[in-house]
Amino acid sequence: MASPILPGLGLGSGLDTTAIVKALVDSDKAAKQGQIDRATKTNTANISAIGTLKSLLATFQSSLESLGSTTTPQFTGVAATSANNSALTVTAGNSAVSGTYSVDVTQLATSSKVATAAFAGGTSSLVGAGTLTISQGGKDYTLDVPADGTLQSVRDAINSTYSSSGLTANIVTDSFGSRLVVGSTKTGAGNDISLSGIASLTADGSTLMGTPSATSSGSISIAKDAVFTVDGLAMTSPTNKLDNVVSGLSMTLLVANSGPTTVTVSTNADGLKASIQKFVDAYNAIAKAVTSLTKPTTDADGNPVSAALTGDSLPRSLLAAIRAPLSETGAGDKLTVLSQLGITTNQTTGALDFDSVKFTQALNDKQLGGEVQTLFTGDNGLIERMQDALKPYTETGKKDSNGKAVDNILTARSKNLDRIKTKLSDDQLALDRRIETLTAVLTKKYNDMDTLVGKLKATASNITSMFEALTAQQKNS
pLDDT value, residue 72: 80
Going along 35-129, which residue ranges are E strands? Answer: 78-82, 88-92, 99-107, 111-115
Of 120, 185, 127, nearest in space to 152 by CA: 127
pLDDT value, residue 366: 79
Terminus-to-terminus CA distance in the chain, angstroms?
63
* Average pLDDT, rounded, for the chain: 89
d(CA 207, CA 275): 53
Looking at per-residue pLDDT, the higher value among 465 and 157 belongs to 157
What band does 5 get if pLDDT is binned at 50, 70 and 90? very low
Looking at per-residue pLDDT, the higher value among 460 and 153 belongs to 153
pLDDT value, residue 464: 83
Of 246, 263, 307, 205, nearest in space to 93 by CA: 246
- Asked if pLDDT for residue 13 goes beyond 70, the answer is no
- Asked if pLDDT for residue 2 goes beyond 50, the answer is no
d(CA 384, CA 378): 8
What band does 379 get if pLDDT is binned at 50, 70 and 90? confident
Give the tens place of pLDDT for each residue, 105-145.
999 999 999 999 999 989 999 999 999 999 999 999 999 99
pLDDT value, residue 477: 65
Looking at per-residue pLDDT, the higher value among 266 and 15 belongs to 266
d(CA 162, CA 322): 48
Mean pLDDT of 251-271: 93
Of 327, 377, 378, nearest in space to 352 by CA: 327
Do 81 and 204 meet the contact criterion of CB atoms below 8 Å apart?
Answer: no
Looking at per-residue pLDDT, the higher value among 166 and 20 belongs to 166
Give the tens place of pLDDT for each residue, 157-182.
999 999 999 999 999 999 999 999 99
Of 183, 226, 179, nearest in space to 202 by CA: 179
What band does 307 get if pLDDT is binned at 50, 70 and 90? confident
- Asked if pLDDT for residue 7 goes beyond 60, the answer is no
Percent of the chain with pLDDT over 70: 97
Give the tens place of pLDDT for each residue, 404-454.
888 889 999 999 999 999 999 999 999 999 999 998 898 888 888 877 877
d(CA 177, CA 165): 28
Mean pLDDT of 38-65: 90
d(CA 193, CA 325): 54
What band does 79 get if pLDDT is binned at 50, 70 and 90? confident
pLDDT value, residue 12: 53
- For the chain, give the number of residues: 477
Going along 318-401, which residue ranges are E strands? Answer: 343-345, 352-354
pLDDT value, residue 1: 40
208 phi and psi angles, rounded to 5 deg: -70, 145
Contacts of 89 (CB under 8 A, 6+ apart): 82, 251, 252, 254
- Asked if pLDDT for residue 289 goes beyond 50, the answer is yes
- Asked if pLDDT for residue 9 goes beyond 90, the answer is no
What band does 398 get if pLDDT is binned at 50, 70 and 90? confident
Give the tens place of pLDDT for each residue, 180-229.
999 999 999 999 999 999 999 999 999 999 899 999 999 999 999 999 99
Do 351 and 287 meet the contact criterion of CB atoms below 8 Å apart?
Answer: yes
Do 49 and 309 meet the contact criterion of CB atoms below 8 Å apart?
Answer: yes
d(CA 197, CA 218): 15
Of 364, 139, 403, nearest in space to 267 by CA: 364
What band does 334 get if pLDDT is binned at 50, 70 and 90? confident
Q: Which of 13-22, 227-236, 273-282, 388-397 has the lowest mean pLDDT?
A: 13-22
pLDDT value, residue 354: 94
- Asked if pLDDT for residue 40 goes beyond 80, the answer is yes
